Amino acid sequence: MKKPSYSDRVANEIKHYKQIFKHGLFQEVPSIWNEVERKFGDKIEAKIGVRGLPEYIAKELKGCKTAKVLSLGSGACGVELLAIAPRLTEQGCTIELTSVDINGDVISQAEREAKRRGVKFVGMTQDINELKLKPNEYDVIMAYAALHHFEKIDHVAREINKALKSKGIFVTVDISSRNGYKLWDEAKGLIGAIWKVLPAKYKWD
């Protein structure tokens, strides 16, 4: 079977996520995603006092009057517009949101929602792997469940480092797996059954 070209994979990705965001700003996730978030949310909260990415960004920007936030691989900006922007507004901080995604349709969707909510918004339809950013530009750069889509991760990391202000932060949430997480619920049940009978010398958790 012929391996799909890069342009073919990009086209499929655009088509796939256009359907995913057709009816809302969020991608539906399996229950295991929520379970993992709960489990690690407890560990994160014990260390830094907040549970998730939106809360952490709000905590770091406390006292800030205006914050320039860049979201990479943003999709329709559900987290940015529905979770981060309201928290910043509540603490007196105006968000200036820039969103980068390869899918122009979902960028337009995010732009409409941002306008409806009164959030200053700049949408950029671009391949993240060819990203070029202005230096010393952003207070926050984030990638929510997006890093696993990037191929030239070293290039992206250099651009992030360049574009952050001196006290800027990069924040990410991601779950790395070879084939995504479509079968996580089923796999968890199977692994749980095997784990019970597996000799201790073969276990590493």
For 34, what's the count of Cα atoms within 13 Å in the CB-facing half-sphere? Answer: 5
Separation CA 52–CA 122 (nearest Å): 24
State phi, psi for 195 to the nearest 5 degrees: -60, -35
User: Dmax over Cα atoms in the chain, in whole Å?
Assistant: 58
Identity of the residue numbered 201: K
pLDDT score at 34: 78
pLDDT score at 64: 95
Q: Which fold has domain 8-176?
A: Rossmann fold (3.40.50)
Per-residue pLDDT tens listing for the chain (205 residues):
678 888 878 788 778 777 878 888 877 777 777 777 888 889 989 999 998 899 999 999 999 999 999 999 999 999 999 999 999 999 999 999 999 999 999 999 999 999 999 999 999 999 999 999 999 999 999 999 888 888 899 999 999 999 999 999 999 988 665 555 555 666 677 777 877 887 887 766 5
Tokens 């012929």 belong to 2
Q: What's the pTM value of the predicted model, to 2 decimals?
A: 0.81
Predicted pLDDT of residue 82: 95
pLDDT at res. 122: 98
Residue 164: both structure tokens together: 């952050």
For 20, residues 6+ apart whose C-beta sits below 8 A from its C-beta are 27, 28, 75
**Cα-Cα-Cα-Cα dihedral sign, residues 69, 98, 24, 184:** negative
